[in-house]
Amino acid sequence: MALSAMAAPTVEIARAPDCNLFNQGAPVRFTAALRAFPAGEGSAEVVLTDYFGEKKTIRVPVKTVDKQPGQVVLDFGVLEPNYYEIALKVKVGTAEASAPMMSFGVAPLISRTAEQVRNEGYRFGLKIFQIGKPGVWWRRGEVWDLDKVVTACEKLGLQWTRHSFNQGPSTEPGVISTVDLVTRHQMNCVMKVEGFPESCYDATRYGPIEDWTAKKKSWARCSVPVKEPYQKWLKEELAKLPPEQTIFEIGNEVWSYMSAEEFAEWCKMSREAIKEARPNAKVGADPGGGEFCRKFIAAGGMDGMDIMISHPYSFSPLPEHRIRLHLRNEREILRRRTGREYELWITEYGWSTAPQDKRKHSVSERVQAQRTTRQSLMLYAEDAKALIPHWMADREHDVTEREHFFGFFRLNQQPKPVVMAHAACARIIDGGTFVGDMWYEPGIGAMLFRKGDTHTLALWTLELDRQAKIPVGAEEVTLIDIMGREKKLATPGGVANIALSGDVVYLKGVGPGVVKAVIPAGSDLNPDLWSPRSLSVHVPKLGISPQIDGNLDEWATRPVVEIPPAKPGETPGKARGMMAWDDSYVYTAVEVTDVRKGRKLALEYRLGVRPDRQPDMGSTQIYDFIFKAPFGAADAVIPALKIENADFDAPLEVKAGEETSGVKWAAIRTETGFTAEVAVPVKLLRGMPKPVAGLRLCGGFAIRDSEDKNRALFSFGEDRPRLWPWMILEEAK
């Protein structure tokens, strides 16, 4: 039998120009090719589904000639701005076939020059994704046409990107040269400086280059070049770039392959060369976090820099629980250690949609759109000069690998929901000003933006559906959803009654009353907004300072915090804590009794002095202080107290009965527990406001079992800092 007679029928929808993006108001049409169908009459069932799950079914008559190619036209007419998916099934007689899903988007497309973007303060963008030789080998027939995707980004108003500063010309469709990117397209680029030629390799310092090759390590990324030839080469490469490209990022998350001191050395020689070649250039680097950051700054890595680069991913905590707090703390660390301010540029962020992510970090495509939009609003509010998510597309090779599914477009150049949401957010706020936050009630995010004379309020929740009444100060506003659909909304009495969720909605045209109620940009964040704390402790002021000796008789009349067993149903003994304050110190006492004789215990006491600056994770928790003391057996020596803080070069250690940095610490070990006292000077608690009645600190206690992997026996308060109980200062009673 001939192969053609055995072929199964197929249906394939042809992509439209501009990566399946249609201008608002233009008709939407696709053509589907039919192959290997028998002769006859049948029908095509087309199901069009939008971002919100709303479906529309269309049936189109089909007539085929035996085994001859045919086609069916899918004419959807004029559609609203949105993300759409097409499901197409064709049936002729008993033969039927379905086309692979086709996605497309409708949006008001934009025509704006790169110069306008720079001069008028536009910030939204999307990072370049390249595939060189041998192309998309894991998906035969697929071609990643980067030039077309860059053009699509221009039309969506996403006109900042990041690219290697010296990417050369290529005939590969998945590669674009740096010069072509910024001359053939209306794009601005953060130029990533990374790598160098073999002529700059420092063999004296790092040994034979062949050793790197044998280990399959990149000497061009992982070593520091010889300064003079490197700077000469760098200046020659910079001369090839158009003069208006002036933003440079040195390296990319180098802490996994280079020491902090090496990175600082490389940054300094790179910055010198860039500034000599382009005096108006702005140069920056990502200083990393924790010990790496401290060493990098100490070695002069940020000397002469203009920019702090950040990649604020937030896979585990929601972005509301991390992003703004983390960035403010990160900038404060630089301010403390360099005495300078730096512009903030964001050159990576986003979420993966890997279907079977082995790391459990990935999300659905809808959640990717939701969280990216919300994070973009937060980054704009923190005055990031560019918002460049990671990235235009991704490999889509291994469904279990997080790093293969960050793309905003699919590898077949079709849009994902996130690119439509990102572009809609850009159209609404980009080129405008963040005015400030609004406070309605816990769990409702509200940010006010101004563009021209119009104020727009962005609203959302932590991915929970709820109805809300929002004062808008006008009898009518324009309601815009996350996809950019607009409709007039009557607001009787100046109040909008709207449904909120993890999808951002925008109320355009709010009145002067909203503006007057705003919490101005740059103000302290509201710690009650996203993380209501269920526990609180009232901390009295002392008239006379206690004797720090481990004897708790002086605490007999003070309020007591019962520290319950960490595991319900267990009765490991009894534990309680007490706190007090005066103008110079914060005092804490702990008593543990009735624990199994000889049990080795460890004390952990937590104190947060800025509850509005407690990110859920990361290395920037500079306002959280952790006090630890590991008690041994009953006859063991009283341990030193260790105080940890993200901005300390090393934990502060205070020996029992002694005073270090003003900290006083004493304890008494008993056969079934211990008593302990600590006095911490306010001046050590850097960032703590002046202690006054009504000031809200936060903290908690844990008593751990040193014999059982430091498991908590008693605990008051969550481990996550944003949920530590309130500790509210009050006057003496």
Q: What pLDDT digit, counting tens, does each position of 66-117 carry?
A: 878 999 999 999 999 999 999 999 999 999 999 999 999 999 999 999 999 9
What region, left, alpha or beta, does residue 243 occupy, with left being phi > 0 and alpha being psi -120 to 50 degrees? alpha
Cα→Cα distances 443→467, 532, 545, Å = 12, 9, 41
> For the residues 633-660, what does the mean pLDDT come to?
90
Tokens of residue 544, six digits: 């006379």
Residue given tokens 């109320």 in the structure block: 507
* 417 has a pLDDT exceeding 80: yes
Nearest to 252 by CA among 430, 408, 391, 381: 391
Distance CA 311, CA 302 (A): 17
pLDDT, position 4: 47
Domain ranges of the chain: 3-107, 122-431, 435-520, 536-730
536-730: which CATH architecture? Answer: Sandwich (2.60)
Helix (H, G, I), strand (E, B) or coil at 728: strand
Nearest to 429 by CA among 352, 521, 326, 320: 521
pLDDT, position 3: 44
Q: Reply yes or no: is the peptide bond before residue 134 cis, omega within 30 of 0.
A: yes
- Determine how many CB atoms are found less than 10 A away from the CB of residue 260: 21
Q: What pLDDT digit, counting tens, does each position of 687-728 carry?
A: 999 999 999 999 999 999 988 888 999 999 988 899 999 999
Tokens of residue 458, six digits: 């962005």
> Is-same-fold flag (122-431; 536-730)?
no
Nearest to 481 by CA among 4, 13, 50: 50
Looking at CATH, the fold of the domain delimited by 435-520 is given as: Immunoglobulin-like (2.60.40)
Looking at CATH, the fold of the domain delimited by 122-431 is given as: TIM Barrel (3.20.20)
The correct answer on CATH 2.60.40.2550 for the domain covering 3-107 is yes
Q: What pLDDT digit, counting tens, does each position of 538-573 carry?
A: 999 999 999 999 999 999 888 899 999 999 888 889
User: How many Cα atoms occupy the beta-carbon half-sphere of 303 within 13 Å?
Assistant: 16
Q: Which amino acid is at 297?
A: I
> For the residues 286-312, what does the mean pLDDT come to?
97
> For the residues 30-55, what does the mean pLDDT come to?
96
Q: What pLDDT digit, counting tens, does each position of 175-189 carry?
A: 999 999 999 999 999
Distance CA 726, CA 720 (A): 13
Phi then psi dihedrals of residue 641, to 5 deg: -95, 130
Tokens of residue 128, six digits: 């370049």
Helix (H, G, I), strand (E, B) or coil at 71: strand
Q: Which amino acid is at 600?
A: K
